[in-house]
Each structure stands twice: as structure tokens, then as C-alpha cells.
Structure 1
Amino acid sequence: MISAVIFDLDETLFARTSSLKAFAEDQLNNQYPNVFPTPSHVVARLLELDNRGKSSKYKVYQTLFKEFGIDDQNLAAELYDHYMRNAWRFAMPFEGLNEAFSEIRALGAKIGIVTNGRTDIQLRSLLALNLDRLADDYIISEAVGLRKPDAKIFQLAAGNLSVRTEDCVFVGDSPTADVSGAQTVGMKSVWFPNGAIWPTDLPIRADAEIQSLSELSGVLKAF
């Protein structure tokens, strides 16, 4: 019996790369239109440097200015500050999120979220997508001093929902942080890759794989 479905946030519920692209296009074409001669090239490079959220945005902007030959680190810091204050306004969910949540509720299961990252940044994304109200509980790694794939953060998530780990399904895009971490505590795992690549040296496999949130209901019913 599935008692809870727990999700990763970035690139699982929150279409992070698409949202960042929309923000960067607005920033460089509309808010700061004269900084770079070819904003489209800069947006593409920004997404590369971002590396699916693994890189510091401050360093990303500093690197962009250096690579494109603009000697103004104060302006780079200003663009970074603009990102910190405004990027959340462009947050968008993956298609099918609300429907997937409704189907989970229809199964009688609870909904949780576990995300790695800074509390201020991740909380803005959660609030922008109304996930603080749609989910029964959410955990941000910095706030609890734990990070996926640490087993303790998955156990904490199950405990907060008052369910057993073996009665949970975890959905995420990261093979190591999400799939492997969840399986360590006995959760079933669903891999939602969204461009992520499965490491050749990772010996385990996810219990299921989906290409869209609309496929999740069928997977849950099959467990």
C-alpha cells in the first residue's frame, strides 16, 4: 500500500531550467538590454554554466562577464542581485503537476517534498508554485542540516508524514540523490530524468521511469 508520494523539487515539480531560461531572456533583453551585444548567446552560456543548479549563480555571472570581455564586476554583481530578487517570478511547474497531485489524493496517499539547496532560494520556488499549500510537508536541506542522498533526510520526510519509509514512493530526477537515496531506506523510486543521465557506474536501477508527470498515476497503481 502506498501511503505517501514524496517528490524532489528542482527538475521534478519545478521546471527549473525552463524557468531560468525565461528569467535570463527577460533580464538580458528587457531589464539590462545593453550589457551584452548578443543576449541569446549569453543566455545559452548561462544555462551551461548553471549546470542544472550545481553552480553558484554569483560565479556564473562573474564568469559570463569575463568570458564575454566585459570588465565590470560591479555590474555582474548587480545582475546577480537582480536574479536573487526576481528569478522566482518566472517559476513554472512541469505540465501535469496539479493533475498528478489530484490522482495521488484519490489514491488516499499523502504528498511530501524533499529538496537540496538554500532555504531562501528553495522556499521562494515552493511558494511561487503554491507547493507549500499543495503538499502535506516539505523539507529543505539547509533548514534541517541534511542533504539527499543521506538516509536520514528520507526517514525524516516519512516521519513528518507519519508513514513508514517502505510505504513511500520517491520521485526525482537525480539517480544518486533521489533514486539511490530513497532505495537505501526502502522507498520505491521513480526516475523522472528531464535531461539527467544515468551514471554508468551506478549499479542500481529505479523501480520505474516516467517521461512526464501524467504517467505517474499508472506507475503508482502498478506498484
Structure 2
Amino acid sequence: MIKAVLFDLDGTLLNRDASVVTFIEDQYERLQQIIGHIPKRLYIDRFLQLDNGGYTWKDQVYAQLVKEFDITAVTSEQLLEDYLIRFNRHCIPFPAVKETLQQLRKLHLKIGMITNGKEIFQMENIRALGITQLLDVILISESEGVKKPDAAIFHRALKQLQVIPSESIFIGDHPVNDVEAARNVGMRAIWKRDNRWDAVKADFTIDGLQEILDIVRQLRASD
């Protein structure tokens, strides 16, 4: 019997790609007097390239930008601070995030989140999506001292939700950190399709979050 549904954040509930683009466009416009010697499109494209879908932390991204573009009026640390403070203002959810979580709660399911990243930064992004009250458990790798795909962080979340792996589903976009890791601990795994990867071995694949509801009903009916 499925009793809990757990989610990744970036690329699953948070449309991180779209959020980053809107943030970096805004940053360029606000700091144009400082970085205006760099063509806007070049600055944005290079940031996105260095960012590597969020898998390169921004201290390295900004250090490289400052070096490459000979930025002297602001430091990489100041650019990073601007990112940390303002990114949450640009958080864009995927369609039907709140509605899906609300409907899962109506099915009497426990809901959790496991995300890699910095604690304060990720919590601000979760709050920006307006979903904290819909989550029973939130585990962020920095505060937990362990990150996906380590099985320990999954077991920790399940223990807090008071469910066992076979009673749980995990939804994420990363084939290893999310899908493979969840399956390795005995959870069912749903891959939220991401064009960066293909042929991901998951129990289910979805394009939209509301598809989860039919999967839950299907699994409950088969138990």
C-alpha cells in the first residue's frame, strides 16, 4: 500500500532552467553599469554553460565569469551574494505543483522532499513556491551531512515519515541521484522526463506532475 510520496526539488517541482534564465537576465540588467561591457547574450549563455544545469556551485561559476570577462567593479563573492539573496524571487514552479500536492494530501498520503544543496538557499526556494505547508518532511543535503544518491538520506526521510521503502514513491529528474538511488533503497521511482537524459530505467516516466495521481491510484488498486 502506497503511503508516502517524496520529491526532488530542482527540475522536478522547481523549473530551475526557467528560473535561472529569468534571474540572470535580471542580474545583468541591474548590474549593467558594472558588467555592461559584456554583451548580454554572451553573459547569459556563458553563465548557463558554466552552471551545468545547477551541478556546478555558483562560487565557481562567478569566479570564472569574473576572470573571463575581466570584471573589476564587483567581486565574484558579491555576485554570488546577489545570487543567494535574489534567486528565490525568480523561482518558477512547474505546472500544477500546488494542485498535485494538495490532491495527494486528499488521498491521505504523506509527502516529503529530499534535495541536494545549501540549506538556507533551498529553503528560500521552497518557500517561494508556496509549498512548505504541504510537505511533512524536508531534507536538505547540507544540513543532513549526506546527499543523494547516498541511501542514508532516503532512509532518514522514510524513518521520519514512518513508512518503509515499499510503501513509498520517489519522483525526480536525475537518473542516478533520484531514480536509481530510490530504487536501490527499495522505493518505486518515477522519472520526471528531462531532455538531458534518455533511456532512464524507472518504474514510471512522467512529463507532467499530475500524472502522479493516476500512478498512485493504479498502485493502490493493485495492492
TM more than 0.5? yes
Distance 2:204 2:43 in 1: 37
Please tell me whether the aligned partners of residues 62 and 73 of structure 1 are also in contact (alpha carbons under 8 angstroms): no
The gaps in structure 2 that reach 5 residues or longer are none
Partner SS, residue 32 of structure 2: coil
Aligned counterpart, 1:60: 61
**Structure 2 CA distance, aligned partners of 1:99 and 1:190?**
18
- Name whichever of 213-222 and 150-159 sits farther off: 213-222
Is the contact between residue 19 and residue 91 of structure 2 (CA under 8 Å) also seen in structure 1? Answer: yes
C-alpha contact (below 8 Å) 2:98/2:131 kept by paired residues? no
**Distance in 1, Cα, partners of 2:121 & 2:191:** 24
Cα shift at 1:73: 7.3
Amino acid at match of 1:44: D
Q: What residue number does 1:215 align with?
A: 211
Distance 1:179 1:138 in 2: 18
Range moving further from structure 2, 165-174 or 46-55: 46-55
- Structure 1, unmatched stretches of 5+, are none
Q: Distance in 1 between matches of 2:146 and 2:81?
A: 27
Per-residue CA deviation, residues 156-183 of structure 1 (Å, 9 max, x unaligned), is 1111111111100000011111111111
Normalising by structure 2, what TM-score?
Answer: 0.90
Computed over aligned residues only, the root mean square deviation of the Cα atoms, in angstroms, reads: 1.7
Local SS of the residue matching 1:51:
helix
In structure 1, the partner of 2:142 is: 142
- 1:59-208 map, 5 Å: 59-68=60-69, 70-72=70-72, 74-198=74-198, 205-208=201-204
Partner Cα distance (1:58, 1:74) in 2: 14
**Who is 1:51 aligned against?**
52
Using the aligned pairs only, state the percent identity. Answer: 35
Partner of 2:31: 32
Which whole-Å CA distance do the structure 2 matches of 1:146 and 1:77 have between them?
Answer: 26
Aligned residues: 217
Give the TM-score normalised by structure 1.
Answer: 0.90
